Structure 1
Amino acid sequence: MINLFTQISKYLNIVFIAFYTYYAFRVFSLADRDKKDRIYRKMKHIIYLFHFVSYLVLFLNTGSFKVAGLYIAQVVAMLVIFSIYPWVYSNISKFLLNHMMLLLTIGYIMLTRLHFDKAMKQFAIATLSVVFCIVIPIIIEKLKKLQDFGWVFGGLGIVVLLSVLFFGVSNYGATNWISIKGFTFQPSEFVKIIFVFSIASLLSKRRDFKYVAVVTVLAAAHVLILVLEKDLGGALIFFITYLIMLYIATSQPLYFFAGLGAGSVASYLAYHMFNHVRVRVMAWKDPWKLIDNEGYQVSQSLFAIGTGGWFGMGLYQGLPTSIPVVDSDFIFSAISEEMGGFFAILLILICISCFLMFVTIAMKIQELFYKLLALGLSALYLFQVFLAIGGVTKFIPSTGVTLPLVSYGGTSILSSVIMFSIIQGLFIMNQDRNEKIEKKRRKTKKTKKS
């Protein structure tokens, strides 16, 4: 009976997420606010249904009341978050709030299936992060002078990265973690957001060649330090994000293609300088040849994705725990195996719709600093998703990058929630300004008539 329900549930979940994905793209074509609100309510109900069915399967397969307790705690947290955010901000983007909660929910479900203790920790950190970050939209709107501290943000980022270079601990070949009394975190997750603030601030001031050259040196310093730490995934994210922001600010294709050329040369040098980079490239080229050692992780990931097929094995019916680092870097493989290829594709589409909303919000902003900030975070988010999924599917060499809001990791979760909160703040700020302009316009029109 349990196996039957498990098999039924995987089809139900695909249907739920398919409808959610449809609604996620449907709202882009709607202008009426009431129609959008109705769709957002449907999306929220789908999240609750998906969450309930998945945790029911987890409970039936484990018989653990700890799982039931975790489910109840998560429902209470979701109810509070879905209630308090619209109460604090009348002009909140329900689209972004729904997406953030859905992605967190997918992560909760998979981590509960993989490692219950890590699921508990992830839930606690994510909930505290969401509650803490409720103040960020206020900060974005009130502290307009943030755009005057570009060099300060840039210097702070370099100092933090240098501290990791000298005092960090090594993890999977990269020295990009700091451990303090058993508490380990990855500072580059926060520096990448500071970096976007810095570049947005600097490029919104001036865009002449000499000034751009100096800003590029600042950006290159961030990338170089990450390369020295052997955090090449992080270096790549910083590099691509800067190139995109530079092109948007200057509209100069030459800068973009020159940067790509320099990046290609740097990648060639990194391949010859760092052994773990060569290992990852060899594992990418032919993981089956190195399946007993260097290619084991990628091979197991591909086995999992292939075994799951289009509809998945069902929760607890696969062997995702055979994949090394499955709860963080390779969680997409576990999702593909047990929830199915269709579900995995829908998850990618949801991430893309999230990026499209980021860009839509950015394009409606008038101030260049805020526009660059939104577009920089958009590029950062999409490229991180690309690296995370591309690495586990053998589309590109593995870079050790986590899937935002889904993968296990306290610093990854907190930085992702901060990113969503900043975009949320930009949306709210723009909506509030538009309402003020509209009220002023109506008042002027009314005065002229009288």
Structure 2
Amino acid sequence: MTNILIELSRYLIIIAIAVYTYKGFAIFRFTKEEDKNTVLRVQNQLMFAIHFMAYLILFLTTGKLDIIIVYFAQVIFLSAVIALYRVIYPKASRLIINHMCMLLAISFIILTRLSYTKAIKQFRIVIISMFITLFIPYIIKKLRFLDKLGYVYAGIGIGLLGLVAIAGSTSYGAKLSFNFGGISLQPSEFIKITFVFCIAALFSKSQELKQVIIVTALAAVHVLILVASKDLGGALIFFITYTFMLYVATREYLYLTGGLLSGTIAALIGYKLFSHVRVRVIAWKDPFQVIEKEGYQISQSLFAIGTGSWFGMGLYQGIPDTIPVVDQDFIFAAIVEEMGAIFGICLILICVSLFIMFINIAMQAKDTFYSLVALGLSLMYGFQVFLTIGGVTKFIPLTGVTLPLVSYGGSSVLSSLIIFAIIQGLYILKQDEDDKVEKIKSDSGRKTRKTSKK
């Protein structure tokens, strides 16, 4: 009976995620709020259906009663997040909330499959992180001096990165984190937010050559410290984000071209200087030629993705544990192996939908500072997703970054939820501005009608 349910669940979960993803794009066809709300409710129902079916299989396969308790706790948590945002922030983007909760639900499912202990730890961190970030949209709305702290953001970022480079713990050849009593904190995950705020604050004041030189120097210090710490994946994300923020702020193609060219040269220098970069390039070129050493990790990832095929093996039917660091850098491979390539494609499309919505918020913001903040955070999020999935699928060399909201890691999930909360705050600001404009137009219309009657 369990085998039948596992087999049936594979297809039902894929159908549910496919319909959910379709609804996420189809919602933009509707203009009436009632129609949009109907789509959003259907998405919620599909998310909880996927969550239920997956945890049913997890319970039937393992027989652990604790999984039932965890399941109900997660249902209460996800329901509370959706309800609280509706009550506290009625103008927040419900589609972003739905996608955020869907990514968290997928994370809970696959982490429980991989390691129950880590899944519980991650769930606790998510609860604490959500409580902290729930106040951020309100803070964004109320604090009007955030654009005046450009050098403060720079000082915080450079100071913390420098501290990590000097006294941080080494992990996989790079100095990334601090360890406090078994708790690991990775400052670069949060500094990428202050980095974006720094660039946005300084460019919102001026885009003259002198300012460009100053901001570029500050950005270069961030990147160089990350390179010195051998956190090259983080350095790449910072560099790309700054390059495109510089271009959007100045509208100068020369800066964009120069930035991309200098990035290419820096990549070549990095290849010559760092042995682990050469190892990753060797593994990327032909992992099966070096499968016993450099190519083992990516080879196992490709085997997992290929084995999963379109519909997946089913939960607990694959062997994702053979992939090193599967719960962090390679979690996408584990998802595809057991839940299928169709599920993986839908996951990518959900991330793409979020990136498009973030960019749209950046384009609609009237204030230069808020526009650049939304753009920078969008680029941080989108490029990190690209690096993670691109590395796992051998599209690009591995960079050692996590999949936001899905991979295991406390610093990663907290920083991602902060980014989502900031974006929500900026979206709410835009809604408030639109409401004020509509009110002014409405008042003006009433005055015009009264004057014409007289």
TM-score where L is the length of structure 1: 0.99
Aligned residue in 2 for 1:53: 53
Mean Cα displacement is larger for which, 190-199 or 180-189?
180-189
1:444 is displaced (CA, Å) by: 2.5
Q: Distance in 2 between matches of 1:31 and 1:378?
A: 25
Residue 246 (structure 2) pairs with residue 246 (structure 1):
yes
- 2:10 counterpart of 1:10: yes
Secondary structure, aligned partner of 2:135: helix
- The equivalent of 2:307 in structure 1 is 307
CA distance in 2, matches of 1:152, 1:344: 40
In the TM superposition, what is the alpha-carbon distance from 1:32 to its structure 2 partner? 2.2
Could you say what the CA RMSD is over the residues aligned between the two structures, in angstroms? 0.9
Larger deviation: 366-375 or 438-447?
A: 438-447
Counterpart position of 2:135? 135
AA partner of residue 348 (structure 1): I
188-197 or 37-46: bigger deviation: 37-46
Please say if 1:351 is aligned against 2:369. Answer: no
**AA of the residue aligned to 2:317:** Q
Paired amino acid for 2:249: A
Q: Deviations over 1:347-399 (max 9, x none)?
A: 11110011111111122111111011101111111100000001111111111
**Hey, what's the Cα distance between the residues in 2 that align with 1:233 and 1:397?**
10
Structure 2 partner of 1:380:
380
1:85 Cα offset (Å): 1.1
Cα distance in 2, alignment partners of residues 449 and 267 from structure 1: 65
Whether 1:267 and 2:267 are equivalent positions in the alignment is yes
Letter paired with 1:418: I
Alpha-carbon distance in 1 for matches of 2:334, 2:132? 30
Structure 1 Cα separation of the partners of residues 305 and 107 of structure 2: 17
- Matched ranges for 1:410-425 at <5 A: 410-425=410-425
* Structure 1 stretch displaced more, 28-37 or 314-323: 28-37
- Alignment deviations for residues 8-29 of structure 1 (CA, whole Å, 9 cap, x no partner): 1011111011011111111223
SS in 1 for 2:316: coil
Q: Which residue identity is paired with 1:392?
A: V
Aligned equivalents of 1:129 and 1:447: distance in 2? 49
- Equivalent position SS for 1:176: strand
What are the superposed Cα offsets for residues 279-331 of structure 1, whole Å, 9 maximum, x if unpaired? 11111111112111111111100000001011100000000011000001000
Structure 2 counterpart of 1:345, one-letter code: I
Return the alpha-carbon distance in structure 2 between the equivalents of residues 128 and 41 of structure 1: 26
**How far off is 1:238 after superposition?**
0.2
User: 1:379 & 1:222 partners in 2: Cα distance?
Assistant: 17
User: Per-residue deviation at 1:134?
Assistant: 0.9
Instruction: Give the corresponding residue for 1:430.
Output: 430
Q: Is 328-337 or 37-46 further displaced after alignment? A: 37-46
Residue 392 of structure 2 is matched in structure 1 by 392
SS class of match (2:287): coil
SS of equivalent to 1:91? coil
Please report how far the alpha carbon of residue 125 of structure 1 lies from its aligned counterpart in structure 2 after TM superposition.
0.7
User: Structure 2 counterpart of 1:57, which letter?
Assistant: I
Question: Per-residue deviation at 1:92?
Answer: 1.2
What are the superposed Cα offsets for residues 65-96 of structure 1, whole Å, 9 maximum, x if unpaired?
Answer: 11111101001111211111110111111011
**1:437 Cα shift?**
2.1
1:338 alignment partner in structure 2: 338
Give the C-alpha shift of residue 173 in structure 1. 1.0
3-state secondary structure, aligned to 2:170: strand
Cα separation, 2, equivalents of 1:201 and 1:30? 36
Task: Give the drift of 1:144.
Answer: 1.2
2:158 corresponding residue in structure 1: 158
- Residues paired across the two proteins, number: 450
Q: Deviations over 1:73-123 (max 9, x none)?
A: 001111211111110111111011000000000000000000001100111
Q: Which is worse superposed, 12-21 or 25-34?
A: 25-34
Instruction: Name the structure 2 match of 1:282.
Output: 282
CA distance in 2, matches of 1:188, 1:81: 27
Percent of counterpart pairs with the same letter?
53
Partner of 1:95: 95
Q: What is the distance in 1 between the residues matched to 2:90 and 2:75?
A: 23
Structure-2 separation of matches of 1:210 and 1:433: 33
- CA–CA separation in structure 2 for the residues paired with 1:105 and 1:391: 23
Is residue 124 of structure 2 the alignment partner of residue 124 of structure 1? yes
The alignment status of 1:177 with 2:193, answered yes or no, reads no
Paired with 1:223 and 1:300, the residues of 2 have a C-alpha distance of 31
TM-score (normalised: structure 2): 0.98
Amino acid at match of 2:312: G
Measured after TM superposition, the shift of residue 193 of structure 1 is: 0.6
Name the residue aligned to 1:78.
78
| In 2: Cα distance, 1:375 partner to 1:333 partner | 29
Q: Provide the C-alpha distance between the structure 1 equivalents of 2:244 and 2:31, rounded to a whole number of angstroms.
A: 29
Q: Quick check: 1:439 aligned with 2:434?
A: no
Task: Give the SS at the match of 2:288.
Answer: coil
Q: Secondary structure at the match of 1:144?
A: coil
Gaps of 5+ in 1: none
Tell me, in whole angstroms, the C-alpha distance in 2 between the residues paired with 1:22 and 1:103: 16
CA distance in 1, matches of 2:371, 2:43: 28
After the TM superposition, which segments of 4 or more aligned residues of structure 1 sit over 3 Å from their partners?
none
